[in-house]
Amino acid sequence: MKTLIKNGAVYLEDGSQITDVLVVGGQIAEVGKMDYAIDDCEVLDVSGLHVLPGLIDIHTHLDDTIGGCQLADTWASGSEIAAINGITTLCTFITQQQGRSLQESVEKGLEKAAGKAYCDHAFHLTPVSFGKSDWAYIEKLLADGFRTFKFYTTYREAGLFLEYAELKKAMSRIREMGAKVLIHCEDDAILTGAKLKVTDSAKPFSHALSRPPEAEIEGIKRILEIAEKTKCPCHIVHVSTAEGARLIAQYRQDLPVTCETGPQYLFLNDDKLKEPEGHRYICSPPLRAESNRMEMQALALKGAFDLYATDHCAFSKADKDRNRSDFTKVPNGLAGIGVLVPLVHELHRDLRALSRHLALNPAKAVGLYPQKGVIRKGADADLAILHLQGDERPVRSSLSDVYESYPGKTTGLSVKRVWLRGETVAENGRLKDPAKPMGKRI
């Protein structure tokens, strides 16, 4: 099947231009004006519309159990809300479970996604043991296409915590292997001290007090120091503090360091935790003060963040409500996949910035460039056709039975059609064929 997409505003790596895109056999065959007949070719005139690379969310949690609760979104529901919003690649995590080998965890994680996703997908690995046999298996995984690891400077009770000395050793080894690490930065010692000072667990706002900004800032500082010594490429996830973002900027010029923030830290503040239903907004890192949110937006517009990602971690309404009177027992996480595109557009009002922060830079950050994230000859034909003046509609973070993270928020941005490797996966807000999950591991 050949498809010629004509006369759209096409977003290339160096800017946008009105031109044509020819798709053949799941890849982009040509980019440029093609005013001639092509045999056996579907021709689509998209004059007045915008043609972007398929978008990417590199930080999601799907079909997993966290804190004793099953996540609300499966691979089917999570990838559906992604696809209808122009997101064609999702990255999530395979975490080595306590009492289970990394190999068992990997096999189980791959099985959950196989044949169920409407998006292509990649996995970040979180091993928790580092013996000789563990490293040997990790080397096999890297040869099989895994590219990234995710480590934590906290979550001791969940068995995920690594001391900074352990992280330094792991990052040195990973650099030698040519891979990259993602780091959750909250200093465990500061968190431990802060939690001891919290006296009222019935108030959701106490969650913010138990995870103060200083914990993230210190965690970022320590990781940047390790990155400076090991030269290991690292990506700092869900930055929630303006000071942390500024600290990263000081190092980013000389080190292979990138960072992300999420819409929750740009559009929500900790006043949400003071509302009667404040427990619904518990996430980690927590929502911050309004002054910090405003600084974060200003920094985002100045280019402080390489990319945006959701940390989509949706729990059912029942699970969020079950222990609402004790914030320490409320599962941490917000839904976000479905709002990533409209909120980044609302922030920047510039599709070039959206294409860079949600396609090009994410693809580069997780080693998928130039197969993904760009419109160029030889790249996968992952494409999204956007209309800027569609009918105003409420945003929807998830298709599952979860509390909406951004109630009352609307958008006029319309995703008209989405291709995954040359095949239409979604059109006008609906899957083209729900019985055909065509996503694959990449």
Any idea what DSSP says for residue 356?
A: I
CA distance 173 to 230: 9
CA distance 205 to 213: 14
The domain 55-365 is classified under which CATH number: 3.20.20.140, 3.40.630.10, 3.40.50.11260, 1.10.3720.10? 3.20.20.140
Sequence ranges of the chain with CATH classification 2.30.40.10: 2-52+377-387+410-429
Per-residue pLDDT, 360: 98
Closest CA to 92 of 118, 66, 113: 113
Asked whether 150 and 181 are in contact (CB, 8 A), the reply is yes
Question: Which residue pairs from 198-206 have beta carbons closer than 8 angstroms and sit at least 24 positions apart in sequence?
Answer: 201/326, 201/327, 201/328, 202/325, 202/326, 202/327, 203/278, 203/327, 204/273, 204/274, 204/278, 204/279, 204/281, 204/282, 204/327, 204/330, 205/270, 205/273, 205/274, 205/278, 206/327
pLDDT tens-digit profile, the chain (442 residues): 899 999 999 999 999 999 999 999 999 999 999 988 888 999 999 999 999 999 999 999 999 999 899 999 999 999 999 999 999 999 999 999 888 899 999 999 999 999 999 999 999 999 999 999 999 999 999 999 999 999 999 999 999 999 999 999 999 999 999 999 999 999 999 999 999 999 999 999 999 999 999 999 999 999 999 999 999 999 999 999 999 999 999 999 899 999 999 999 999 999 999 999 999 999 999 999 999 999 999 999 999 999 999 999 999 999 999 999 999 999 999 999 999 999 999 999 999 999 999 999 999 999 999 999 999 999 999 999 999 998 999 999 999 999 999 999 999 999 999 999 999 999 999 999 999 999 999 9
Q: How many CA atoms lie within 13 A of 11 on its CB side?
A: 25
Per-residue pLDDT, 8: 98
Amino acid at position 106, single letter? V
Residue with tokens 């009918």: 391
CA distance 220 to 199: 27
Greatest alpha-carbon pair distance for the chain in Å reads: 73
Closest CA to 407 of 358, 313, 303, 334: 334
Asked whether 306 and 247 are in contact (CB, 8 A), the reply is no
Q: Any residues with CB less than 8 A from the CB of 8 and at least 6 apart, and which?
A: 18, 19, 20, 21, 46, 47, 49, 50, 51, 385
Per-residue pLDDT, 37: 81
Per-residue pLDDT, 99: 82
- pTM check: above 0.95: yes
CA distance 107 to 396: 32
Per-residue pLDDT, 38: 87
CATH superfamily of the domain spanning 2-52+377-387+410-429: Urease, subunit C, domain 1 (2.30.40.10)
CA distance 347 to 157: 37
CA distance 48 to 5: 12
Sequence ranges of the chain with CATH classification 3.20.20.140: 55-365
Do the strands 15-24 and 27-31 form a parallel or antiparallel pair, or are they unpaired?
antiparallel
Closest CA to 3 of 374, 385, 341, 369: 385
Closest CA to 58 of 124, 141, 149, 114: 124
Using CA atoms in the order 411, 303, 179, 191, what is the torsion angle rounded to 10 degrees? Answer: -80
CA distance 149 to 386: 33
**Helix or strand run (H / E) with residue 168:** helix 164-177
Per-residue pLDDT, 226: 98
* Other beta carbons within 10 Å of 414: 18
CA distance 355 to 358: 5
Amino acid at position 86, single letter? G
CA distance 423 to 291: 45
CA distance 398 to 78: 7
- pLDDT tens for 295-313 read 999 999 999 999 999 999 9
Q: How far apart are the first and last CA of the chain?
A: 22
- pLDDT tens for 352-393 read 999 999 999 999 999 999 999 999 999 999 999 999 998 999
Residue with tokens 């998209």: 46
